[in-house]
Structure formats: structure tokens, C-alpha cells
Amino acid sequence: MKWNIKDAEHWSWKKYPEGALILEGGNAAYYKTGGWRTDKPAWDEEKCTQCLICWISCPDSSIIVKDEKWDSFDYDHCKGCGICAKVCPVDAISMHPEGGEE
Amino acid sequence: MAEVKLTEIRWHARGGQGAVTAAKLLAETALSQGQYFQAFPEYGPERMGAPIQAFTRISSEPIHIRSSIANPEIVVVLDPTLLKAVDVTSGMHADGVLIVNTDDEPKAIRKAMGLKGRTIFTVNATRIAQETIGRPIPNTPMMGALVKATGMMPIGNLTDYVRKSFGKKFSEEIIEGNVRAVERAYAEVKAE
Amino acid sequence: MAKTATKQKIVAMTGNAGCALAMKQINPDVVAAYPITPQTTIVEEFANYVANGVVDTEYINVESEHSAMSACIGASAAGARVMTSTSSQGLALMWEELSIASSLRLPIVMQTVNRALSGPINIHCDHSDSMGARDMGWIHLFAETAQEAYDNTIMAIKIAEHKDVRLPVMSMHDGFITSHAIDRFEVLDDADVKKFVGNYMPKHSLLYNPNEPVTFGPFAMPAFYYEQRKQLRVAIDGSKDIVMKVTDDFAKLSGRQYGLFEEYRLDDADVAVVVLGSTAGTTRYVIDAMRAQGVKVGMLKLRVFRPFPAEEIAQALSKIKAVGVMDRSDTVGTLGGPVYVEIKAALYNSKQRPAMQGYVYGLGGRDTGPDQIETVIGDLVKVVKGEQSPREAVTLLGVKE
């Protein structure tokens, strides 16, 4: 992170960029939205056919794929919407209450 | 400082007769004489044929006043039918000059309008335009009549300027037609 | 004319043609505009320059003024030099975009040809359109003549783009009276204008720095919004010095020296008229005539309305005995027109201050002749002589009672 915005809500008016610009691209990743989640997805490796429809469908880019294979969930940003579980044609993803048994 | 002479002219015409072009041409000619001027039409929702007015101010010094012209010294009427439709002498100077495009003699105009004092000039600018330019647009011949009536500049200055400014846009035939129109109106205008 | 001034050409042109010529000489990257009387002939003439290939401008035809200003904002944010033009309802339709342009600190220059706001619908001059937009964070310049409209356009781009300003500028002239009248004025060489305005280099720009992307127009919660507004206030207050720096630089080039306002025969005046726009010319004419009769009258002609030069005006008027402020717009439901109300406020804490009276005039293009200005000066003279008190209520000049 090039631009240190620590404590930005307490800055003087002089410190903000002119015109309220955000001076860095791609900074949405710094905001961790995983805390919004009430239901958490779980992946069943045995059922998964690597079709990656979940990866295409995830609205928060929270399905991580490595070497063209399903790798992991990005729980820092997954909001638990359940779309991945819904679109999976082989029921390899299931949703479970946050904090409960996985 | 000597009194600065500010000449105020009002043009009466119908939309499409070229009064605005004439006012513009007069302003540009004044510029070529090193004078100051303003030329401004009175805008409204006019269409072709509607009575319109345009105004010109000319002075040897910068002109500051920006209101419309209430008491013109010179009134130019491009269409004789307007004499019945519009009060063309409204607010006109007591020793003003009225120039009308008509086939009538100045005396007949004076009688018809019941006009006292002032000087009346008449010229059939529409016929001159038809015969020289081939179109019944009376604006350039009326410029010739105006120059004769006011003596504001030698006629050669006006014809030189017509050649120069029309030269960019029109054919030689049109330009020379306009120059002849100016010269004929200058020669044919009658006064009383 | 000053000896330092460059060679110039004297032309016979309408105010709008002069503004279009200034735009041609500036050669903006983008113009997005929608025609509206009496501004139309500016963009019409400029479109000719584009069609004839004498400018490099990308001319964006849009379906409304709202879209015009939106396109200008987008282009300016991308890093382009941007100009547009509007009048009356067109400006009203741009409304929600105006404050976005200023808060994003985008140096858009807009020729605003003053025309009365509807209704009833009217096409003629008053200042209600730009006065309605007076608090949108734009710099407002007013012109008396076609010469000033041309000059202000060239100065506006340099003021707007100055690194210590970066604010949009509206350059006003009076609809029809200035916009459509053929006037005599001097124009600079293309090369001189090009050199004067220079190249525009935005601070942040996707066009010039594609590898350093920035976000324009993010959401600001209560923790952030207020500080942005403070920044805007500081920027527009501070722009006053830059306006004058650019104005002085322009004087060196052209020989035409302007100020935040002009003081005309104000030095020894007992009474003064404050006015802006073309009526300042008629006022000058009346003042000369009345001075010849021994009336000690002067004029303060406002050129820069935003940022409002409150201190300087208070100083200039402090020794006058009675001041009449003429507004070509009415802020109904208040004390009077906006110029009157603000000048009155500017003088409130002065130890020495004149009696003041507010006048509204010329709404919807009602002709304002010398008689109306004589009425104002006559009133002020009576106030000075103690024959009448300044009226609390605003006076509407030339209205049929």
C-alpha cells in the first residue's frame, strides 16, 4: 500500500487530496468485508469437478483458483451470499452458519 | 474636448430583407474608416416577413451607451408597406432623416404620413436590386441611399468595402451587381 | 495602449463570434455543448472551426445541457482542456453537475451568455441564470463589452487551470446586448494566445499517467465531507490573487488592464453606482454627462463576482456618501438583488460606510436607458442632501406600475 490512509477520518482538511480524489487504484481490497458474513461456504473436494462455475459467479472474487484448479475461499472478502453453493451443479459447496461446525 | 458626434440609425424591415446584414455591413464599413460603431438587431420570435428593427451607432470615439436607440437621427425603411404597419418615425429626431425604399416621390410620402420638418429621401431599391443583382433584396442599394443622404463617407469607400467584403463569399457577377446597386441608388435617391 | 502590448487586429464582430474566436485560439481538447439562445452562435461558430479542421477539438454533440456538463466533467477528469457554453434554462439543467465540477476541482471554462430564467419563458438578458448558480464553487467573471468577453475567455482558461486554483470558471456576457451586437474590438494573434494560455498539465490524469490511476468522485461520509467543503472555500478565496496575477499578465500582453472591479471617477465622488455587465457602459455615459453638470458621481463596475472581493469593495466605497447597487436579477423574498445584499453585508462592519439603496433593473431584457440611471443618481443625491432617507425596500426600475 503506497498511500498511508491510517487515521484518515481524523485528518485536517489540509491533508486530504484536492477534489476528494483517491490516489491509488485497487484499494477496495484493503476493506475486509468478510465480517459481514453470517453463513460461510465449505468446499467438498471429492464432489468438485473443477468446472469453476463458482469462480465465474462469485460477486466478490472470493474463490481463489491456482493452476486452473479450485484452491480456496478468500474469507477476508467473502460476504457469505451463497451464490457459489447455488450455482454448483454437483453440490460441492455448502453453506453453514458462521461460528458453527464446518 | 469637442462635442463627439454620435450618429444613431434605426432600420425598419421585414425578416429576410437583409436589414441585419445591412447594419453589419455599415458597421464594417465604419470600421474600415477607423470609426467606432455598434450594430444590433432587436430580437424576438420573428419569422420571415415579420416587421423587425435593427440599430446602428457610429462615432469617431468609443461608444459606451448600450441601451436601445430611442431617438434616432436617421431612420431607414426597407419596405414601404411598413409605413402603414409600424410607426417608423417614433421618437425620431426633429431634424432627422427618413430614407424609404419606395417608388413614390418624397413629397407623396410626406403627405401620406402627415410628416412635418425632417428630410425625406426615397429610392426604389427593390427595383434597383432586381435589375442589378437579379434578386429583390433592397439592403445594399439602401446603403448607397444612406451614404448619399448623410454624406457619412465618400461613395467610393462604400463600394470599395462591398468589393472587399463580398469578395470572400460571392461570384464576381454578384459583387459587381451589388456595387452597381449601391452606385445607382446613390445617384437615383430623391430628397425633400 | 501600453507600449508593451503586442500587435493586434481590430475587428467588427459580435460578442459571441469573439468568444468563439477566443475558443479557437485556445484550442481546447474537448467541447461538449448543447445549443440554447442566446449562446447558440458561440457553439455554432466553434463547430465551424472544428468542421474546418482549424482546431484539434473533439466536439461532443449531446442531447441536453445536463449531458453537456457531464461530458465536460468526464473529459476534464480524464485530463483534457475542456470548454462549453450555455444560457438560462440550459444552465439550470446543468445545476446538479455544477457543484460536482467545482468539488472535483476541474478547470472547465463555460461561456455563460446571460438570459432570464423562465418563466414566463423569455430569451433576453438578465443575470438570473448565473446569479442562481453563484454559490456553486465556480469563479464568475462579468464582461461589459465584446472586448471584455473575448479577453475574459482567454484569461478564464489560465485562471481555471492554474495549479493553485483548479476551479471551473463561468465567463458571462449579456445576452443579445453583447452577444449579438456587432462591436469594434481588438483581437490577439493566435500565436500570442497559444503562448499565453500554454499547455495544460493536470495534476492527476489517466491520459498522461495511465499507470497511476486515481478515483474521481468517491462517496464521502460525514467524517470526510466537511473538510472537502473547507478545501473548496480556501481554494476559491485564494483564487482572487491568481485572478489578478493572470489579469496583470494579460495586461502586459494586450495593453488592456482589468481588475477585480473598475473604479470609474470614484476618487472624489459623493455618490456611486455599482453595476455589472453591459449596463456599466450606459452608466459610464450618464456619469460623464452628469459630471459635466457638476454632479460628483462615480461607478464601481464589478468584474469578478466570485470570489466576491468584499474587502476591496468595502475599501473602495468607504468614502462614498451614498451608493446605489443595480442588480439585473431579483432574489425574491429577500432584501433585493444578490449584488446589493452582498455589498451591504461587506460594508456592515466598516467604521465608515455609505448609505445604500438597492435597485433591480432590466429583467427579461427590459431596455435600461440613461433615464433609469439618472433616476438612481438623482435618488442618491437626495439622500446625500438629506432630502430623503435611503429606502429599505428594493426599487424596481422601469417596471410598469
Domain borders along chain B are: 6-191
Characterise A82 by phi-psi region: left (phi > 0), alpha (psi -120 to 50), beta (else).
Answer: left
- Which cell numbers in the block locate residue C184? 469594434
Percent of chain C with pLDDT over 70: 99
Strands (E), C37-163: 58-61, 82-86, 109-114, 139-142
| Chain A residues touching residue C218 (CB < 8 angstroms) | 20-22
Q: For A52-71, what is the mean pLDDT?
A: 96
CA–CA distances in Å: residue C36 to residues C109, C146, C392: 17, 19, 37
Q: Which of A3, A16, A27, A30 to mutate to test the interface with C (most CBs of C within 10 A)?
A: A16
pLDDT at B4: 63
Q: For C279-299, what is the mean pLDDT?
A: 97
Q: How far is C373 from chain A (nearest CA, A)?
A: 43
Residue intervals of chain C classified under CATH 3.40.50.920 are 261-396
CB C75 within 8 A of CB C30: yes
- DSSP letter for each residue of C343-369: HHHHHTT-SS--EEEEEE--GGG----
Pairing of strands B6-14, B36-41: unpaired
d(CA C200, CA C108): 12
| Chain B residues touching residue C38 (CB < 8 angstroms) | 43
CB C139 within 8 A of CB C159: yes
- From 1.10.287.3510, 3.30.300.30, 3.40.50.920, 3.40.50.300, which CATH number describes the C261-396 domain? 3.40.50.920
Homologous superfamily of the B6-191 domain (CATH): Pyruvate-ferredoxin oxidoreductase, PFOR, domain III (3.40.920.10)
How many Cβ pairs closer than 8 A exist between chain B and C?
A: 59
Kindly tell me if the per-residue pLDDT of C310 is higher than 90.
yes
First vs last Cα of chain A: how many Å apart? 34
Which domains are present in chain A?
Answer: 8-97 (3.30.70.20)
Kindly tell me if the per-residue pLDDT of B2 is higher than 80.
no
d(CA B145, CA C69): 49
Distant-in-sequence, close-in-space partners of C181: CB < 8 Å, separation ≥ 6: B38, B39, B40, C14, C15, C146
Sheet containing strand C322-327, strands side by side: C261-264, C297-302, C271-275, C322-327, C355-360, C395-396
d(CA C175, CA C38): 6
d(CA B23, CA B36): 14
Name the closest residue on chain A to residue C137, using Cα atoms: A19
Distant-in-sequence, close-in-space partners of A46: CB < 8 Å, separation ≥ 6: none
| Chain A residues touching residue C103 (CB < 8 angstroms) | 19-20
For chains A and C, tell me whether 3 or more CB atom pairs sit within 8 A of each other. Answer: yes
Instruction: Tell me whether residues C12 and B64 touch, CB distance under 8 A.
Output: no
pLDDT at B166: 83
> Exposed, middle or buried, C338 (CB in 10 Å: 0-12/13-18/19+)?
buried
Chains sharing 3 or more CB pairs under 8 A with chain B: C
Residue C51, beta-bridge partner list: none
pLDDT at C1: 46
d(CA B19, CA C53): 32
Question: Could you tell me if B170 lies within 8 Å of chain C, comparing CB atoms?
Answer: no
What's the CA angle centered on C59, arms C57 and C64, to 5 degrees? Answer: 150
Candidates C106, C213, C228; nearest CB to A16: C228
Q: What is the pLDDT of residues C103-112, one digit of tens each?
A: 999 999 999 9
pLDDT band of residue B45 (cuts 50, 70, 90) is low
The secondary structure of chain A in percent helix, strand, coil, rounded to multiples of 5, reads 25, 20, 60
Long-range contacts of B43-47 (CB under 8 A, 24+ apart): B43/C38, B43/C123, B43/C124, B43/C176, B43/C180, B46/B15, B47/B15
Residue C11 DSSP SS3: strand
3 state SS for C301-326: EECEEECCCHHHHHHHHCCCCEEEEE
Q: What is the pLDDT of residues B71-103, one digit of tens each?
A: 999 999 999 999 998 999 999 998 899 999 999
Q: How far is C225 from chain A (nearest CA, A)?
A: 9
Name the closest residue on chain C to residue B34, using Cα atoms: C10
Residue C10, beta-bridge partner list: C186
φ and ψ of C340, to 5 deg: -60, -50
Chains sharing 3 or more CB pairs under 8 A with chain C: A, B
- Cis upstream peptide for C120 (omega within 30°): yes
Residue C112, beta-bridge partner list: C86, C172
Instruction: Tell me whether residues A12 and C227 touch, CB distance under 8 A.
Output: yes
Residue intervals of chain C classified under CATH 3.40.50.970 are 9-189+196-254
**DSSP run (H or E) holding C171:** strand C169-174
| Chain B residues touching residue C278 (CB < 8 angstroms) | 66
Q: What is the pLDDT of residues B132-190, one digit of tens each?
A: 999 988 999 999 999 999 888 899 999 998 898 888 788 889 999 999 999 999 999 99
CA–CA distances in Å: residue A74 to residues A27, A50, A58, C315: 16, 17, 11, 66
Kindly tell me if the per-residue pLDDT of B107 is higher than 70.
yes
Instruction: Calculate the average pLDDT of chain C.
Output: 96
| Chain A residues touching residue C235 (CB < 8 angstroms) | 18
CB B144 within 8 A of CB B181: yes
Fold of C9-189+196-254: Rossmann fold (3.40.50)
> Exposed, middle or buried, A59 (CB in 10 Å: 0-12/13-18/19+)?
exposed
Kindly tell me if the per-residue pLDDT of B46 is higher than 80.
no
pTM for this structure? 0.92
CB B7 within 8 A of CB B59: yes
The CA radius of gyration of chain C, in Å to the nearest whole number, is 21
Question: Could you tell me if C369 lies within 8 Å of chain B, comparing CB atoms?
Answer: yes
Instruction: Tell me whether residues B40 and C281 touch, CB distance under 8 A.
Output: no
pLDDT band of residue A61 (cuts 50, 70, 90) is very high
